[in-house]
Structure 1
Amino acid sequence: MSEFRVLKLGGDIKPGRVIDLRKVCPEWDGRVSDKARAEIEANDRRAARVLQTAHLFWFGR
């Protein structure tokens, strides 16, 4: 399992726009529960559907 220690918001991030998760929650060990991982994946699928719908609305079929 890979450990994510830094959260980058958006695409090309400027140096001052990075959140170091160790500073926010130093006791966090980098692991994500199965329930949280399932929520993240569900949110990812919902976001993909929103983008697909927006694309179809904007550009047509």
Structure 2
Amino acid sequence: MSEPRDVDSMPTPDHLLHTGSEHPVDPEDLVRASGREPTPELIEKARQDLAKYGAVAVERLLP
């Protein structure tokens, strides 16, 4: 019998991943793309990066 799988530990399916050139990116998306959980500080930093670099900010994390 196989062990139950923890859905949260499974990788995100490719069809759910996107980059800035395909869809709008919000600050929370940018934080999550970096592999971190959103906090107010990280969201603010991401907001600044998006203002400075635009959607290309996510390309810097996910080339």
For the criterion TM > 0.5, the same-fold answer is no
Could you say which structure has the higher strand fraction?
1
The structure whose RCO (Cα within 8 Å, separation 6+) is larger is: 2
Q: TM-score, normalised by structure 1?
A: 0.31
